[in-house]
Amino acid sequence: MDFDLNDEQKLLKDSVEKLIAQHYDFEQRKKYLQAPEGWQRDLWARYAEMGLLGLPFAEDDGGFGGGAVETMIVMEAFGRGLVLEPYFATVVLAGGILRHAASPAQRAALIPAIAAGELCAAFAHAERQARYDLADVATSARESNGTWRLSGEKSLVLHGDQADRLIVSARVSGERRAHDGIGLFLVDGKAPGIARRGYALQDGTRAAEISLADVAGEPIGTPGAAFPIIARIADEAIAALCAEAVGVMAAMHEVTLDYLRTRKQFGRPIGQFQVLQHRAVDMLVAIEQARSMAYFATMMAAENDAAERRRALAAAKVQIGRSGRKVGQEAIQLHGGIGMTMEYKVGHYFKRMTMIEMLFGDADHHLAELAAIGGLITT
């Protein structure tokens, strides 16, 4: 199987990596974290100019017709730079729902605005009691006089504090954990009845707790039949996170190698000690294992067979979690005490890697799921 990028993909990779190298060194990133929004609107506009915000959307909808490979390229570069802008929340999560489930009128109203950098969106799905169960939705939606009204609580809504539009999952029928009976609704971020409490996560990115009290929502797709869409978006999100994780791990490895070359002990660079060389090689092996599974996740993200797609993405998330923990712990330990300080970048990479492992299920969760469905290989 050919894993080489085509000419357009190589150009995209070079362009994104150059942009991140120019605008996301560690000192610049610390300044971005201090901004009121926690990210840079100017950079968001640059992403729009480069076509990154419209990359995965169909050309007929105002996008550039990219796919999972193009998303992988962008996410890996963003992982290297520890990018703070809401690309994952707006383009991958909310944008994925629009691509798969929105009506032509909804796509026409929203996708060009996202591609132009004029609109940010967020997917409000997780709830406090749900843990990693995608079907556990207690937020309710009721139709009254032709209008859907939503009430409930959403937790850990990535970049939900500043989103112009929210895509909210809500139950229209059935028991709390039933797969049937879940709907998706488009909600104005400033609609009456919405309360948002924003906060910074441990890796510096933003999230929000959101309360909805009789809030008006516009259905996306058929109310009550949204679970397959939610499951598909979760799998596509995992594929994107796997690519980002590879970028994070590769950056941690490079920073660690530089430190081993320059830090001296007993009159020579510590990288000359064989035991530390072995640990650096172990990091590289873990990264390459993760990279292989990230490629696999990217290929399987577009799989229409939901069971096969779920099997593949669960396996990828297990490897990403294990590799990320290995690489992160080795990077911190090989740096010694400096690796734990806020002033040094390797700890920030490890924080982001930890967050990636937790999003949409950690390694233990996916390993249990993979065991329950018979493992990666089917007969």
The one-character DSSP state at 267 is T
Q: pLDDT truncated to tens, each residue of the chain (379 aa)?
A: 566 889 999 999 999 999 999 999 999 999 999 998 999 999 999 999 999 999 999 999 999 999 999 999 999 999 999 999 999 999 999 999 999 999 999 999 999 999 999 999 999 999 999 999 999 999 999 998 889 999 999 999 999 999 999 999 999 999 999 999 999 999 999 999 999 999 999 999 999 999 999 999 999 999 999 999 999 999 999 999 999 999 999 999 999 999 889 887 888 887 778 888 999 999 999 999 999 999 999 999 999 999 999 999 999 999 999 999 999 999 999 988 787 777 889 999 999 999 999 999 999 999 999 999 888 765 5
- Cβ count near 200 (within 10 Å): 13
7-119: in CATH 3.10.530.10? no
Q: Which amino acid is at 354?
A: T
- Gyration radius of the chain over CA positions: 21
The one-character DSSP state at 90 is I
Supply the DSSP string of 123-188, one letter for each residue: EE---TTTTT-TT----EEEEETTEEEEEEEEEEEETTTT-SEEEEEEESSS-TT-STTEEEEEEE
Please state, in angstroms and rounded to a whole number, the distance separating the CA atoms of residues 144 and 253: 56
* Structure-token match 């749900």, residue found: 130
**pTM for the predicted model, two decimal places:** 0.95
222: left (phi over 0), alpha (psi -120 to 50) or beta: beta
Question: Do 20 and 77 touch, CB atoms closer than 8 A?
Answer: yes
pLDDT at 337: 77
pLDDT at 362: 94
Run of H or E including 220? strand 206-220
Please state, in angstroms and rounded to a whole number, the distance separating the CA atoms of residues 278 and 285: 11
CATH topology of domain 122-224: Butyryl-CoA Dehydrogenase, subunit A; domain 2 (2.40.110)
User: What does each C-alpha distance from 237 to 112, 186, 241, 324 come to in angstroms?
Assistant: 21, 19, 6, 17
CA trace torsion 35, 354, 120, 342 (10° rounding)? 10
Please state, in angstroms and rounded to a whole number, the distance separating the CA atoms of residues 77 and 245: 10
pLDDT at 153: 98
Please state, in angstroms and rounded to a whole number, the distance separating the CA atoms of residues 312 and 242: 12
Domain ranges of the chain: 7-119, 122-224, 228-372
Question: Do 257 and 270 touch, CB atoms closer than 8 A?
Answer: no
- CATH of 228-372 among 1.10.540.10, 1.10.3720.10, 3.40.50.1220, 1.20.140.10: 1.20.140.10
Question: Do 78 and 87 touch, CB atoms closer than 8 A?
Answer: yes
Helix 26-34 / helix 345-358 crossing angle, nearest 10 deg: 60
Measured in whole angstroms, how far is the alpha carbon of residue 58 from the centre of its chain?
20
